[in-house]
Amino acid sequence: MDHVLDEEHITFLTAQETLISWAGLSLAERAKFFHRRFPNKWIKPRALLRLYGLHGIRKKRVRFTKAHKPDRIEEYEAWRLDAVYQLQGIFDAGIKVVFIDEVVFTSKTCQMQDYSNKHHNVHIEQTKLDCPYLSVIASISTDGNVELLQIQKGAVNDELFEEYIRKLEE
């Protein structure tokens, strides 16, 4: 087996399509899949890491996106435009509009990756992260006023949300 990589192999390993299809795999698993694709070549996980570094490929947080069915994209766009026109009609009529949203705070809400100097790691005491599970429902009107803010222990369910709307209507 040969450990020297040709341009074809380097291009394959650094291609965006390969990186996307191998997302979630360890370096060892990526090396194994590379060997399956090119049976006469082999790369060690550490060498793959070095190759990634040379080509500016870094380990980053994965961002999740919602996949839309291609046959429904036009339908979604029609719904969006309909909502925009209805909202514009409400604004034109001078009716007060209030936007409502909720946010949840847990111990997992903290930032999990951060920058630090070479040979130094960022440490946070775990006891500082142990906090109660809190939810916040907030509403703001188009004139910029906070209409109602409710902080609650635990998650917001249907009953609590309906109660919030009733308070907001008062």
* pLDDT tens track for 66-102: 777 888 888 999 999 999 999 999 999 988 889 999 9
CA distance 94 to 112: 44
Window from 38-42, 121-125, 150-154, 159-163 with minimum mean pLDDT: 121-125
**pLDDT of amino acid 23:** 79
Given a contact cutoff of 8 angstroms between Cβ atoms, the answer to whether 119 and 88 are in contact is: no
Q: What is the mean pLDDT of the chain?
A: 84
Residue 117 confidence class, pLDDT cut points 50, 70, 90: low
Alpha carbon of 44 to those of 18, 34, 118: distances in Å?
Answer: 17, 10, 25
Per-residue tokens: 147? 């209409």
Q: Maximum distance among all alpha carbons in the chain?
A: 76
Instruction: Name which of 93, 129, 133 is nearest 111 in CA terms.
Output: 129
Residue 3 confidence class, pLDDT cut points 50, 70, 90: confident
Neighbours of 164 (CB within 10 A): 20
CA distance 157 to 161: 6
Instruction: Name which of 20, 19, 42 is nearest 32 in CA terms.
Output: 42
**pLDDT of amino acid 164:** 92
> Is the pLDDT reported for residue 170 higher than 70?
yes
Kind of pairing, strands 98-105 and 146-153? unpaired
Residue 106 confidence class, pLDDT cut points 50, 70, 90: confident
Torsion of CA 138, 139, 142, 147, to 10 degrees: -110
- Mean pLDDT (whole number) for 7-22: 89
Residue 123 confidence class, pLDDT cut points 50, 70, 90: low
> Is the pLDDT reported for residue 122 higher than 60?
no
- Mean pLDDT (whole number) for 151-165: 89
CA distance 167 to 152: 15
Higher pLDDT residue, 121 or 26?
26
